[in-house]
Amino acid sequence: MRDDVERLRLRTKDFAVRILRLCDTLPHTRSTNIIANQLLRSGTSPGAQYREAVRSRSDAELISKMESILQELDETTYWLALLVDANLVEKSLLEPLQKEADEPNRDLRVVGKEPEKALTGHLSV
């Protein structure tokens, strides 16, 4: 289990680093600055929240934290799509990030029924 937890910690941290790098490459306009700020918040939060989830004291707390992670990832996909729809970034450049943000949505929904899976590596956070 420990290896799975560490793998997921690294994966969520890598995702956050990719978001940081993306935001640093955006042009400095009023609209992109607003989107970048929102994207920075939602795209870096899942890693920190996963670390909190690992230390959950109950199934209810674990489920709550996992739901928060889902919400942040969903918000991240919104900001990524907005960048594409506003023709600020080419879709092909954001597809890997979009895919990475979308993958956990399928798996994390299981947490409500089987919270222990969230910490045993059965989820692709």
pLDDT for 65-100, tens place per residue?
989 999 999 999 999 999 999 999 999 999 999 998
Residue with tokens 């690992």: 54
Pairwise pLDDT comparison (104 vs 121), residue with the higher score = 104
Q: Which amino acid is at 5?
A: V
Pairwise CA distance, residues 37 & 46, whole Å: 15
CATH fold of 2-119 reads de novo design (two linked rop proteins) (1.20.1440)
Average pLDDT, the chain: 85
* pLDDT score for 104: 65
> Where does the pLDDT of residue 48 fall: very low under 50, low under 70, confident under 90, or very high at 90 and above?
very high
Pairwise pLDDT comparison (107 vs 21), residue with the higher score = 21
Has residue 10 got a pLDDT over 60? yes
Q: Are 34 and 120 within 8 A, CB to CB?
A: no
Residue with tokens 């940081």: 20
Q: How crowded is the C-beta side of 73, counted as CA atoms within 13 Å?
A: 28
Give the start-to-end residue ranges of the domains of the chain: 2-119
